[in-house]
Chain A
């Protein structure tokens, strides 16, 4: 993975930069010693590491503004960081950058039930947003797997999804407003507790911009009343084609489950060995969950079971109570951990049209043989968001590179069938150099033009998202 050469001028001015930052921050909010900054050398894409020049941990929007203004004046690159759980390298530092972490900004600013929103500082974790309102019967819908640790700031930067977004949408559909600080230190409110933009939908383009347009310090989030209940069913099939058809038939029957999860045989086997959830060993397993009152759930599940039966399942299991529901979800929720027990793995997240599922799974199986690397598939089947887990051995020379090449081939396949490189993890550095596969030059130029407006000096997280050759003229300017 190539990263730009650090700016020697910035490195040589480290002392002055740190001194100016020290003047606007409490002593415990600034780190510049390598012993301390090393903790910030990577995010959850741990294969790539680089200690930053300095780390700042501001507590207020004013401090964020002051830091950015100094970095802007001194030409210092800034990499914003939420909780550092990015799987795409979104928070990977460069040696000449200041890491701006929002981890200390965790306050709930306002909770409003009549209007159903919560306003928080963005260092707050995803799950603790729900935690702040669940006693009153509400929840925050986007639920990425890392929700215990990941920050709202990172969710906004990556437009994070989750298992339940088929019904509730992803971050952008649940974000009402932000306080944004641009690279020159300007603070502005965009959106608010009301709905839809009056002018251009800046909120829409900020969400998912991977920390390249500004630092979001506060967010107004939509909260929803908790459903009366939810219950899953589990079904196993002899082929992924049939499982795909079941998904299509459920959707065409007019049912909108909150989640439809898919696992293939390698993933089921690994999960069974690890979590012993009692899954059937078969080619394709589906978990379908619906919500509502007990009677409504019964009615929806009756329809779903009828569709499931018509396709000759090898197993069909309806949760009768919370305990059985927990067992059905147990394997799915331990799938990544189970694969990790076997080996090191790389998790991809390309999206495909649901209709292309059988073809894509067959091709991934063939490529797995060609590359000699195992792969298991976990899949948000309702929305086509795949999670192929490629197994490799990090201690074996060349295996990581082989795994990355295999992963790139899978992502090219996703684009080829009409899908995209990333459904919810973001581009970061991981998919950066594949952007040409999905986008023509004019498409990338249009996106980079947005960054030109928000961050004309290309100082914010500039080595991410866009292929380095595409962004080079701008980063050099």
Chain B
């Protein structure tokens, strides 16, 4: 099914007699949804872009590349830096803005500026009964009624089919540079990243790649400011090692694109886990994980692990969540929730999708 507009979609959902598997670009097959494919490819296009108001509205099926090109022409960007899953998951096709929102996809800059959900201003969606619903809007401050925008963002299509999303965008930067520390062990690296994040120098990327032996800190902005902060930040992390500064904009950007897309794991066989924890907990958890490869992002708050089998059991009782992004480990894809939270989540899914037809089997 490929509806052409919202009314089309609402009718198809209302008349559906079985489960629907909701598809954006099909580049992020995370979770195990079953059902007839429902593609949003027929509902695409940027409907509003006001650079002076930092606002963009697009239909859900709009290719992300189209949005990014349009923003780049005005020297703006999606500041949360959505990851491209294609290399890691071995998928092809074009990521869509709706898919990005449904999976709340962010990147390294998330640690400083927030996640996709933090940039969401509004949504339109069709619920499981075929009702067309709007929430939020196109303005940056809005507390009018409940924030269903955040509830829908990251719901993996289980509450409704997104038809249009409205986002806050930000100015792009003049340049960027990366400070690199070599040869730190994981615990020292995470401590160095924490020290950098606690400085006033506005670090917008904080990653550690143990295989490459590199600990990286990104600075962005006007050239003079980046140069000043690079020097100051090198002083902050001096107790952990001597930092070299990569001040070539393209080379620095390439480094962070590789962290964002976890290209270190691309082409390697096995399960891929995405672990979100308190950063300072990460090294000890990784020591228990039995992983073949690890990449730390978000100063250690996000850990990518190439690890087969039931990672959660090996980690024991930890605070955070582990999501199985790729592979089959015979365990739930999403972190099991506590009983009261699971009851609320199940209750919400039953309200928004009473027949349970949206992406059944995906979450919970």
List the interface of chain A (C-beta within 8 A of B): 112-116, 137-138, 158-159, 161, 165-166, 169-170, 172-173, 182, 186-190, 192-205, 207-209, 225-228, 247-249, 251-256, 292-293, 295-296, 299-300, 351-355, 380, 382-385, 418-427, 431, 435, 438-440, 442-447, 449-454, 465
Task: Give which listed residue, A249, A300, A384, contacts B141 with CB less than 8 A.
Answer: A384
Name the A residues within 8 Å of B144 (CB-CB): 420-422, 427, 431, 435, 438
- Closest chain B residue to A385, Cβ basis: B141
B95 to chain A, nearest CB (A): 19
Name the A residues within 8 Å of B53 (CB-CB): 248, 251, 353-355, 384
Inter-chain CA distance A161–B141, complex, in Å, is 8
Inter-chain CA distance A269–B142, complex, in Å, is 29
Residue contact B338 to A188, C-beta cutoff 8 Å:
yes
Name the B residues within 8 Å of A295 (CB-CB): 224-225, 228
27 cross-chain CB contacts under 8 A = A114-B279, A173-B118, A182-B340, A188-B338, A195-B301, A196-B106, A198-B322, A198-B335, A199-B341, A199-B345, A201-B153, A204-B151, A251-B53, A300-B222, A351-B141, A383-B140, A384-B53, A384-B141, A424-B141, A425-B143, A438-B144, A439-B134, A440-B134, A443-B135, A445-B131, A446-B352, A465-B145
Residue contact B170 to A169, C-beta cutoff 8 Å:
no
Residue contact A351 to B298, C-beta cutoff 8 Å:
no
Task: Give which listed residue, A189, A197, A299, A424, contacts B338 with CB less than 8 A.
Answer: A189
Q: How many A-B residue pairs have CB under 8 A?
A: 270
Name the A residues within 8 Å of B118 (CB-CB): 169, 172-173
Inter-chain CA distance A423–B141, complex, in Å, is 5
Indicate with 1 or 0, residue by residue over B213-229, a CB within 8 angstroms of chain A CB atoms: 00000000010110011
Task: Give which listed residue, B153, B198, B298, B334, contacts A195 with CB less than 8 A.
Answer: B298
Residue contact B133 to A114, C-beta cutoff 8 Å:
no
Name the B residues within 8 Å of A190 (CB-CB): 341
Task: Give which listed residue, A201, A354, A382, A422, contacts B150 with CB less than 8 A.
Answer: A201
Task: Tell yes or no: B4 within 8 A of A by CB.
Answer: no
Name the B residues within 8 Å of A200 (CB-CB): 151, 154-155, 158-159, 345, 348-349, 363
Task: Give which listed residue, B131, B143, B348, contacts A442 with CB less than 8 A.
Answer: B131
Residue contact A424 to B115, C-beta cutoff 8 Å:
no
Residue contact A202 to B74, C-beta cutoff 8 Å:
no
Q: Contacts A194-B278, A196-B117, A443-B133: A450 and B146 contacting too (C-beta < 8 A)?
A: yes
Inter-chain CA distance A187–B341, complex, in Å, is 10
A450 to chain B, nearest CB (A): 6
Inter-chain CA distance A427–B146, complex, in Å, is 10
Q: Contacts A353-B50, A425-B143: A197 and B132 contacting too (C-beta < 8 A)?
A: no
Bin chain B's interface residue count: 35 or more
Name the B residues within 8 Å of A137 (CB-CB): 198, 200
Task: Give which listed residue, B146, B194, B335, contacts A205 with CB less than 8 A.
Answer: B146
Name the A residues within 8 Å of B194 (CB-CB): 113-116
A253 to chain B, nearest CB (A): 8
Name the B residues within 8 Å of A256 (CB-CB): 170-171
Name the A residues within 8 Å of B147 (CB-CB): 159, 172, 204-205, 207-209
Residue contact B141 to A255, C-beta cutoff 8 Å:
no
- Additional A-B contacts beyond A194-B319, A199-B334, A440-B134 (14; CB < 8 A): A192-B319, A194-B278, A196-B104, A200-B348, A203-B150, A205-B147, A207-B150, A251-B54, A252-B52, A254-B173, A422-B143, A424-B141, A443-B133, A450-B148
- Closest chain B residue to A229, Cβ basis: B200
Name the A residues within 8 Å of B55 (CB-CB): 353
B360 to chain A, nearest CB (A): 15
Inter-chain CA distance A172–B277, complex, in Å, is 19
Q: 3 closest A-B pairs (Cβ-Cβ)?
A: A204-B150, A198-B321, A248-B52
Residue contact A115 to B155, C-beta cutoff 8 Å:
no
B79 to chain A, nearest CB (A): 10
Inter-chain CA distance A227–B322, complex, in Å, is 33
B117 to chain A, nearest CB (A): 6
Residue contact A169 to B114, C-beta cutoff 8 Å:
yes
Residue contact A170 to B141, C-beta cutoff 8 Å:
yes
Task: Give which listed residue, B171, B228, B364, contacts A296 with CB less than 8 A.
Answer: B228
Name the B residues within 8 Å of A449 (CB-CB): 348, 351-352
